[in-house]
C-alpha cells in the first residue's frame, strides 16, 4: 500500500486525511480487521489543513485553562464549570485512544504527537480576578481538577510563567495552573494513523485525489474522484462514506443532497498567529496560557500564549488573530467558496446570521487589517516586555463554523461541532470546528455508536472498543469513578510518556 493505492469497491470511503478521518479509519479497522477502507485526500501530503501542526494551537483542550468554556454564572452567582468537566472527560477518551495507538505500534514515538505542557489561565483587573477565583473554587472540587492551583501572588505567577509578569503595571492579576496539560501535534497523529491504515490488508489512501461527486445507489454511494496528477476522473463505490473534509465538508454534503443536510450553511473564520522562535525567549515560557476574550471576539478567538513543540522545534505562538475570509480551505480553497455554498435552503439562515453578527463581521475585518503595532499591543497584554523584532506573523487554519436553521432564527453563529448521518446510516459528515481535534476520539465514537452500533453489541466488538477507549461506555465524571479515571489516565500517560 502507498500514497496512491486504490481499493476497488471498499466497505468504507473516507474523504480527507485530517485527524477525524484518520481516527475513524483506525477505529473501524481495529474493530473489524477484515474491513476494506479507502481514503482520498486532495492535497499532495497528508493532513495539511486544520490538523497540520502550525495551523492550530495544538492545545489538548481538556477544559483546564480555556476560560471561554465557563462563561456563565449559576443562580448562586458562582461560575458554572459543567462544560469544562465534560470537555475534560472527552479529552480523556482521546488520550486513552492515543495511548492505545502507541501500545499497538500504530504510532511510533509518542514524543512526535504529544508533550506535557502545563495549562495556565491568566487574568488581569479585579473583575477578571473575581471570575477566575470563582471558577477555581468550582473546578477544584471535582476530581478531574483536584490538582489545580490558584494564586494572586505575582511572585508565584512569575515562577509559573515569567513573561506574563515582567514589566506589568501594578494591577490585580491571578492565575490557575495544572501541570498535566498537553501540547498535541494533531497533524502528526493523523499522518501516522493514515499511514498505518495504508499498511493494512484491504486498505489504501490516495493523495492529490479530489472527491468531486457523491451519488446515492441502492447499495451505498458512488463517489466521483479527480486524480489531480493526470486530470483523469474515476469512480469508486462504498457502503459507507465519511465526509471528514474539514472546510471542504459543506460543499460535499450539499453534493450528497441528503435531507438531513438541508438548511446548513458555513461561516469561515480565518486565523493568524504571531510566532517567536528565539530560543532565549521560548525557553522562559513552557506553558499554555489562556486569557479572556476581548470585546466582540468569538469565543474561539480568546488570546493565548502557547508553547508549541512541532517536529522537535520549540516555538511560542500568540493569537489567534481572526481574519475575514470567504475561502473554506487554505490549499485548494477559493474565494468563491462562501458564495458558492449559498442555497435556497440556507440563504435565510445565512442572511439572518450575517445581520445578527455585524459586530462579529466588523471584528473579523478589523482584525485582518490591523497593523503589526496593534497586534503587538494585544500581545503585550500578556507579555508586557514583548519586542516587535522577535515576532513574525504567520497564517493559521480556517474554521468553517456550521450554521444551522435554528441558529439562523436565533441569530447566532454556532461554534460547536455538528455530526450528521442519514437515516440509513450510509453516510456521516462532520461540520464545524470547536473544540475539535482534542475531542476527535469522542466525536468518532459517537459516529461509530450511531452508524455501527450493532458491532459494539457483540462480545468481540465490545472488547475491541474497550481496548481502544476503556471508558467508552462509562461516565468518568461521576464522583465514584475518581479512582478508575486516575488509573486509566495514568496508563495512557505512561504509554504517551507524559509522566
Ligand atoms: C486557528 C485554529 C486553532 C485551533 N486550535 C485548536 C486547538 O488548540 N486544539 C484543538 O483541539 N483543536 C484546535 N483547532 C481545531 C482543529 O484544528 C480541527 O478541529 C481539526 O483539525 C479538524 O480536523 P478534520 O480532520 O475535521 O479537518 P482537516 O484537518 O481540515 O482535514 C480535512 C482534510 O480534507 C481534505 N479535503 C477537503 N476537501 C476535499 C475533497 N473534496 N476531496 C478530498 N479531500 C478533501 C483537506 O485537504 C484536509 O486535508 C483549531 C483550528 C484552527 C483553525
pLDDT single digits (tens) 439-463: 999 999 999 999 999 999 999 999 9
At residue 2, the pLDDT reads 44
Give residue 432 CA to ligand 1 midpoint distance, Å: 9
Mean pLDDT of 97-104: 98
What is the edge-to-edge ordering of all strands in the sheet holding 220-227?
Answer: 209-217, 220-227, 233-238
pLDDT at residue 143 greater than cutoff 50: yes
Residue 297: CB atoms within 10 Å: 19
At residue 1, the pLDDT reads 41
Closest atom of ligand 1 to CA, residue 211: 42
Closest atom of ligand 1 to CA, residue 21: 25
Give residue 148 CA to ligand 1 midpoint distance, Å: 30
Q: Which of 88, 245, 319, 418 to mutate for ligand 1's pocket (most ligand atoms within 8 Å of CB)? A: 245
Give residue 171 CA to ligand 1 midpoint distance, Å: 39
The grid coordinates of residue 155 equal 511572585
Q: Mutual orientation of helices 19-31 and 82-103 as an angle, nearest 10°?
A: 60
Give residue 218 CA to ligand 1 midpoint distance, Å: 31
At residue 415, the pLDDT reads 58
Mean pLDDT of 71-95: 92
**Under a CB-based contact definition with an 8 Å cutoff, are residues 409 and 352 in contact?**
yes
Name beta bridge partners: 427.
241
Q: Whose CA is nearest to atom 19 of ligand 1?
A: 436
At residue 404, the pLDDT reads 74
Distance of CA 87 to the CA centre of its chain: 12
Mean pLDDT of the chain: 91
Strands 119-124 and 173-178: antiparallel
Give residue 5 CA to ligand 1 midpoint distance, Å: 23
Give residue 335 CA to ligand 1 midpoint distance, Å: 18
Closest atom of ligand 1 to CA, residue 437: 11
pLDDT, tens only, 166-203: 889 889 999 999 999 999 999 999 999 999 999 999 99
At residue 385, the pLDDT reads 95
pLDDT, tens only, 279-306: 999 999 999 999 987 655 555 568 899 9
Burial 483-497 (b: 16+ CB within 10 A, else e): eebeebbebbbebbe
Q: Which of 17, 436, 447 to mutate for ligand 1's pocket (most ligand atoms within 8 Å of CB)? A: 436
Mean pLDDT of 432-444: 86
Residue (of 193, 214, 160) closest to 426 by Cα position: 214
Give 416 or 214, the one with higher predicted confidence.
214
Burial 173-196 (b: 16+ CB within 10 A, else e): bbbbbbebbbbbbbbbbbbbbbbb
Dihedral sign of CA atoms 19, 24, 30, 34 in order = negative
Give residue 270 CA to ligand 1 midpoint distance, Å: 12
Q: Whose CA is nearest to atom 38 of ligand 1?
A: 248
Give residue 440 CA to ligand 1 midpoint distance, Å: 11
> Which of 264-273, 357-366, 406-415, 449-458 has the least mean pLDDT?
406-415
Q: Which of 46, 49, 206, 229 to mutate for ligand 1's pocket (most ligand atoms within 8 Å of CB)? A: 49
Which residues does 30 contact at the CB level (< 8 Å), separation at least 6? 104, 464, 467, 468
Residue (of 171, 85, 61) closest to 135 by Cα position: 85
263 φ/ψ sector (left φ>0, alpha ψ -120 to 50, else beta) = left
Q: Whose CA is nearest to atom 9 of ligand 1?
A: 59
pTM of the model: 0.94
Ligand 1 lining (C-beta closer than 6 Å) = 15-21, 40-43, 47-51, 55-59, 61, 186, 210-211, 244-246, 248, 252, 271, 320, 329, 396-397, 399, 430, 433, 435-438
For cell 477555581, the residue is 136
Give residue 19 CA to ligand 1 midpoint distance, Å: 7
pLDDT at residue 476 greater than cutoff 70: yes
Mean pLDDT of 394-423: 73
For cell 486525511, the residue is 17
Amino acid at each position: 500500500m502507498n500514497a496512491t493505492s486504490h481499493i476497488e469497491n471498499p466497505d468504507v470511503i473516507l474523504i480527507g486525511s485530517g485527524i477525524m478521518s484518520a481516527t475513524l479509519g483506525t477505529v473501524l479497522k481495529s474493530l473489524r480487521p477484515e474491513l476494506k477502507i479507502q481514503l482520498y485526500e486532495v492535497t499532495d501530503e497528508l493532513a495539511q489543513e486544520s490538523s497540520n501542526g502550525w495551523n492550530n494551537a495544538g492545545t489538548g483542550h481538556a477544559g483546564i485553562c480555556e476560560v471561554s468554556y465557563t462563561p456563565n454564572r449559576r443562580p448562586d452567582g458562582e461560575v458554572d464549570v459543567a462544560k469544562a468537566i465534560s470537555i475534560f472527560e472527552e479529552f480523556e477518551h482521546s488520550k486513552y485512544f492515543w495511548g492505545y495507538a502507541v501500545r499497538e505500534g500504530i504510532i511510533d514515538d509518542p514524543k512526535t504527537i504529544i508533550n506535557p505542557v502545563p495549562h495556565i489561565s491568566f487574568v488581569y483587573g479585579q473583575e477578571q480576578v473575581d471570575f477566575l477565583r470563582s471558577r477555581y473554587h468550582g473546578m477544584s472540587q471535582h476530581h478531574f481538577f483536584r490538582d489545580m492551583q490558584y494564586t494572586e501572588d505575582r511572585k508565584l505567577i512569575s515562577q509559573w510563567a515569567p513573561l506574563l509578569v515582567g514589566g506589568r503595571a501594578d494591577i490585580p492579576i491571578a492565575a490557575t495552573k495544572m501541570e498535566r496539560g498537553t501540547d498535541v501535534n494533531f497533524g502528526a497523529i493523523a499522518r501516522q494513523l493514515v499511514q498505518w491504515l495504508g499498511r493494512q490488508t484491504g486498505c489504501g489512501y490516495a493523495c492529490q485525489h479530489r472527491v468531486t461527486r457523491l451519488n446515492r445507489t441502492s447499495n451505498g454511494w458512488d463517489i466521483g474522484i479527480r486524480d489531480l496528477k493526470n486530470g483523469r476522473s474515476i469512480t469508486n463505490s462504498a457502503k459507507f462514506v465519511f465526509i471528514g473534509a474539514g472546510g471542504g465538508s459543506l460543499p460535499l454534503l450539499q453534493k450528497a443532497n441528503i435531507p438531513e443536510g438541508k438548511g446548513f450553511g458555513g461561516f469561515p473564520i480565518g486565523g493568524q498567529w504571531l510566532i517567536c522562535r528565539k530560543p532565549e525567549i521560548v525557553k522562559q515560557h513552557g506553558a499554555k496560557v489562556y486569557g479572556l476574550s476581548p470585546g466582540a471576539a468569538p469565543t474561539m478567538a480568546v488570546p493565548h500564549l502557547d508553547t508549541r513543540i512541532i517536529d522537535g522545534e520549540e516555538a511560542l505562538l500568540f493569537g489567534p488573530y481572526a481574519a475575514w475570509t470567504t475561502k473554506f480551505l487554505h490549499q485548494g480553497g477559493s474565494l468563491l467558496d462562501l458564495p458558492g455554498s449559498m442555497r435556497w435552503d440556507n440563504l435565510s439562515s445565512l442572511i439572518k446570521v450575517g445581520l445578527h453578527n455585524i459586530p462579529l463581521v466588523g471584528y473579523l475585518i478589523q482584525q485582518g487589517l490591523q497593523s503589526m503595532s496593534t497586534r503587538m499591543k494585544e500581545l503585550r497584554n500578556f507579555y508586557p516586555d514583548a519586542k516587535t523584532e522577535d515576532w513574525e506573523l504567520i497564517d493559521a487554519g480556517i474554521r468553517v463554523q456550521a450554521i444551522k436553521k435554528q441558529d439562523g432564527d436565533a441569530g447566532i453563529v454556532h461554534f460547536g461541532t455538528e455530526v450528521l448521518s442519514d437515516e440509513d446510516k450510509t453516510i456521516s459528515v462532520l461540520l464545524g470546528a470547536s473544540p475539535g481535534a482534542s475531542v476527535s476520539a469522542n466525536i468518532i465514537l459517537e459516529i461509530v455508536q450511531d452508524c455501527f452500533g450493532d458491532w459494539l453489541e457483540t462480545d468481540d466488538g465490545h472488547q475491541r472498543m474497550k481496548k481502544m477507549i476503556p471508558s467508552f461506555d462509562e461516565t468518568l465524571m461521576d464522583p465514584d469513578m475518581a479512582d478508575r479515571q486516575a488509573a486509566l489516565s495514568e496508563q495512557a500517560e505512561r504509554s504517551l510518556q507524559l509522566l
